[in-house]
Amino acid sequence: MFYLYANSLLKGVLKDIKRRFIQIKHDFIILSYRFYLNLISTAIFKVINKK
């Protein structure tokens, strides 16, 4: 009885960790995308100002 309870609990915890990890990965991708977009726009702006 206890084994089944512990097993289901462990599966729930693993599923939750997996979901959170995917969320963190998704947020990181968005952040890095924004960072590179900002970097590129700054570089283009500097090139335009030099002319």
Instruction: Render pLDDT for 1-51 as a digit per residue (tens, 0 to 9).
Output: 788 888 999 999 999 999 999 999 999 999 999 999 999 999 999 999 987
Cα–Cα distance, 50 to 43 (Å, whole number)? 11
Geometric angle at alpha carbon 15, from 14 and 17, rounded to 5°: 65
| Confidence at residue 1, expressed as pLDDT on a 0 to 100 scale | 75
- Domain ranges, ordered by start, for the chain: 15-50
Distances (CA, A) of 16 to 5, 27, 29: 17, 17, 20
Task: Specify the 3-state DSSP secondary structure of 1.
Answer: coil
The pLDDT of residue 3: 86
